[in-house]
Amino acid sequence: MPTRALTGPLLVGIGGGIAAYKVCGLVSAWAKKDAPVRAVLTASAERFITPLTLATLARHPAYTDADFWEPKWDRPLHILLGEWAGVIVLAPLTAQMLGQLAHGLADNLLTNILLASCAPVLLAPAMNTAMWEQKSVQRNLSLLLEDSRYHLLPPTSGRLACDTVGAGRMAEPEELEHYAQSLFWTQGQRDLVGKRVLVTGGGTREHLDPVRFLGNPATGRMALALAQAAFHRGAEVTVIHGPRSAPVPEYLTSYLATSAQDMARLLEVHFPPCDLLLMNAAVADVRPQSNHPQKLPKAKLPASLPLEPIPDLLAHLARHRRPGQVVVGFAAQTGDILTPAWEKLHAKGLDALFANPLDEPGSGFSGPTNQGWLLLRNGTAQEFPNAPKLAIAHGILDALKG
């Protein structure tokens, strides 16, 4: 796997809004990775959160407009910080700051840093629903996003601090962290713009009755990392996930597939238009021959459970793909992973297959990291050492691209 970094010098710019408290989670998480992070507060942000709090979390003094006018720097502070930053996160992004950036205006330390920097910028808006939906705000957003430097993590829906229920909640710190990591990996390049990526994840459940089923431990964390990586690179992403999957962010289109049959129905709809299928779901191989609509009393449970095979969804899709579609499978193995992986790649007619060991530390189900081998139809294989699942996801996308 290409050696790239998920971290680097991160500058977090904080606007004036109640969501400013969430930024503490991002600053703390970045510092705990032993990665450099600097916080810059606008004057209005200081009404919601103190420079001392951010300085403590960042292990470095936070900057305010008061620092902007101090003559103690070797070079202008906005130039120093603009050149230092590898990625900039603006959270919360207010309507005021959005309007300034859209029109190239700067009247404080933070906005001057943005104009003095060439680093990718992640926008995390937060405001009242009516404010967010104003035509003028959306017009400013569209204008700003014409600049490829700027990336949007849209607000989610829910109950806001003003008690309004609707769009306007700032993204959670973990989402900000993941997107910032992706920007360090890609250096802000959107190489999947215009591509439609379909990701399946999690495990399916094949029910004997409403409370008993055959299943597996898949949690969908690898699928979520694949979906996030593709979205961060500009793709239009759809996720089909099992019932035990990690929560899917609101900005991703997602569908629940409880059983293999559910998965098959959804794939029939969403596979034909996609450009890339990442079939990470752990779909069951067999199911009970009978599915009882009512819970079976314990005394009536069968002593042996007759099973029937489930059609191979991935092989079926690979056989019926249109020209130009790329189909990638995933195989969790124990023992020798390469021999069965090559057999699956060829038997199913896949373009690529990622095989990961279940019996090695730091890989497999539920954990934050993974490892394995990516096998390509041309006969080449690429080893992926243990790494965070987001790094594995980007490495797979890089290999498929080139």
Question: How far apart are the C-alpha atoms of 42 and 12, rounded to whole Å?
Answer: 11
From 24, 118, 162, 274, the catalytic residue:
162
Amino acid letter for position 347: A
What's the confidence (pLDDT) of residue 103?
Answer: 96
Q: What does the pLDDT profile of the chain (402 residues) look like in tens digits?
A: 555 889 999 999 999 999 999 999 999 999 999 999 999 999 999 999 999 999 999 999 999 999 998 888 789 999 999 999 999 999 999 999 999 999 999 999 999 999 999 999 999 999 999 999 999 999 999 999 999 999 999 998 888 788 888 888 999 999 999 999 999 999 999 999 999 999 999 999 999 999 999 999 899 999 999 999 999 999 999 999 999 777 899 999 999 999 999 999 999 999 999 999 999 999 999 999 999 999 999 998 988 999 999 999 999 999 999 999 999 999 998 999 999 999 999 999 999 999 999 888 888 787 899 999 999 999 999 999 999 999 999 999 999 986
> For strand 156-159 and strand 206-209, is the pairing parallel, antiparallel, or unpaired?
unpaired
Question: How far apart are the C-alpha atoms of 269 and 141, rounded to whole Å?
Answer: 32
Q: Residue with structure tokens 């965070």?
A: 388
What's the confidence (pLDDT) of residue 95?
Answer: 96
The architecture in CATH of the region 196-401 reads 3-Layer(aba) Sandwich (3.40)
- Beta partners for residue 207, in sequence order: 213
**10-186 has which fold?**
Rossmann fold (3.40.50)
Question: How far apart are the C-alpha atoms of 18 and 127, rounded to whole Å?
Answer: 9
What's the confidence (pLDDT) of residue 43?
Answer: 97
At residue 214, φ and ψ (nearest 5 deg) are -90, 130
> Is 162 marked active-site?
yes
Q: Do domains 10-186 and 196-401 have the same CATH topology?
A: yes
CA dihedral 26, 31, 35, 39 (to 10 degrees): 60
In the chain, what are the domain boundaries? Answer: 10-186, 196-401
What's the confidence (pLDDT) of residue 128?
Answer: 92
Sign of CA dihedral 229, 234, 237, 243: positive
Question: How far apart are the C-alpha atoms of 188 and 233, rounded to whole Å?
Answer: 8
pLDDT per residue as tens digits for the range 309-359: 999 999 999 999 999 999 999 999 899 999 999 999 999 999 999 999 988
Structure tokens at 250: 């609101």
SS3 letters across the chain: CCCCCCCCCEEEEECCCHHHHHHHHHHHHHHHCCCCEEEEECCCHHHCCCHHHHHHHHCCCCECHHHHCCCCCCCCHHHHHHHHCCEEEEEEECHHHHHHHHCCCCCCHHHHHHHHCCCCEEEEECCCHHHHCCHHHHHHHHHHHCCCCEEECCCEEEECCCCCEEEEECCCHHHHHHHHHHHHHHCCCCCCCCCEEEEEECECCEEEECCEEECCCCCCHHHHHHHHHHHHCCCEEEEEECCCCCCCCCCCEEEECCCHHHHHHHHHHHCCCCCEEEECCECCCEEECCCCCCCCCHHHCCCCCCEEECCCHHHHHHHCCCCCCEEEEEEEECCCCHHHHHHHHHHHCCCEEEEEECCCCCCCCCCCEEEEEEEECCCCEEEEEEEEHHHHHHHHHHHHHC
What's the confidence (pLDDT) of residue 11?
Answer: 98
Tell me if 24 sits within 8 A of 49, measured CB to CB: yes
Apex CA 245: angle with CA 241 and CA 250, to 5°?
75
Question: How far apart are the C-alpha atoms of 295 and 302, rounded to whole Å?
Answer: 13
What's the confidence (pLDDT) of residue 401?
Answer: 87
- Among 98, 92, 91, 68, smallest CA distance to 80 is for 68
Question: How far apart are the C-alpha atoms of 363 and 342, rounded to whole Å?
Answer: 20
pTM for this prediction: 0.95
